[in-house]
Amino acid sequence: MDKLRDLIEKYKAEVKDENPFLIEEVESFRIKYLGTKGLVKTIMGEMKNVAAENKKEAGQLLNEFKMFVEEKFATFDYIGTTNENKNTTNLDLTLPGTPTPIGTRHPISIVKNKIVGIFNKLGFSVAEGPEIEDDFHNFSALNLPENHPARDMQDTFYIAQNPDWLLRTHTSSVQTREMQKGKLPLRIICPGRVFRNETISARAHCFFNQVEGLYIAENVSFADLKQTLYYFVTEMFGKNVKVRFRPSYFPFTEPSAEMDISCLLCNGKGCNVCKKTGWVEILGCGMVHPKVLENCGIDSNKYTGFAFGMGIERITMLSYQIKDLRLFSENDVRFLRQFESAL
């Protein structure tokens, strides 16, 4: 009996020290102590050598040992089958999870949403179209026939497999598509990414984002265009900003103009951003050329319209005083995180 008692004490101490962690270690424990050829079974087999008068006591001792091992076994928290986590102890499943940081909105998206929001209030709805366009929607319909010198104004990426396909150089191509649908009056803005074969620098990139707008109805005038854009600018930049229109040329509008706003950085006094002029150009605009209306199946005797187009990068740079356009496409989180509070 004494021998049995000593043996059980020794095994108990051994079991106490066991601390399996991986699922296969827990299984080894089970086999070693509780399996059919395990320790518990083996010493149970010793019962036959115990004298009859001690059988009761020995039985109790062995039972108690068996329960001790089973209870220990029930306490194991175990994980996976790889060795990676072997050194991580005390897995606490009640701990809250590690927070995953959510991203921030890109400054271009922030400004785009703001521009879209302003024109939504005036009744413009968003229209979108494909980034890969055909020649007709990007050029011909917009009064830029083949060999027209104005095509050189926008260095175009053509698709090698099909010379009729290209990456759209402006979202005016979306306006062509909408006009063709023939639902009038039409009041849309077209945000989207456009592509031009320009050398990448602080001021230019081979892709950028635009918002173009189009309003076609009966009796739309240049005064409507001016007032719409004036409203946009005051909503976007505040009441104190000044506006001027300069005559310009676009094949798809006649008359055409470019719109400048007083420089936000120096308040019109003259600085590097406005090249000492006090003014910065923000968009092109004009009355839709009658030929464009006709190309898209709209009766130019009945309908008139205005159109405008602006680069979102430029407006974002002015709004946040960003000096290098390349920052927008580099995905440097140190840059992007700075717009967290602008959401």
Summarize as ranges the residues that interact with ligand PHE (CB under 6 A).
Answer: 170, 172, 212, 250, 253, 284-286, 307-309
Tell me the closest approach of the beta carbon of residue 248 to ligand PHE, in angstroms. 8
Reduced DSSP (H G I as helix, E B as strand, rest coil) percent helix, strand, coil of the chain, to 5: 40, 20, 40
φ, ψ for residue 42, nearest 5 deg = -60, -45
* Identity of the amino acid at 115: I
Q: Judged by CB, which is closer to ligand PHE: 169, or 262?
A: 169
Rounded-to-10 torsion of CA 207, 211, 175, 229: -150
143 touches 251 (CB < 8 A): yes
Neighbour order of strands in the sheet with 253-262: 125-126, 186-195, 207-217, 304-311, 279-288, 253-262, 243-250
Enter the tokens of residue 96.
């809250």
Supply the minimum distance, in Å, between the C-beta of residue 169 and ligand PHE.
7
Query: How near is the Cβ of 288 to ligand PHE at its closest, in Å?
Result: 8
Q: Which is nearer to ligand PHE, 29 or 169 (CB)?
A: 169
Smaller CB distance to ligand PHE: residue 212 or 260?
A: 212
Smaller CB distance to ligand PHE: residue 172 or 262? 172
Instruction: Tell me how far, at minimum, the Cβ of 339 lies from ligand PHE, in Å.
Output: 26
Closer of 306 and 328 to ligand PHE (Cβ)? 306
List, in order, residues 6 or more apart from 235 with CB less than 8 Å away.
118, 121
At a CB cut-off of 8 Å and minimum separation 6, what does 158 contact? 165, 166
Residue (39 or 259) nearer to ligand PHE, CB: 259
Q: Least distance to ligand PHE from the beta carbon of 229, Å? A: 11
Helix (H) or strand (E) holding 336: helix 333-336
* Least distance in angstroms from the C-beta of 254 to ligand PHE: 10
CA-to-CA distance for 39 and 54, rounded, in angstroms? Answer: 21
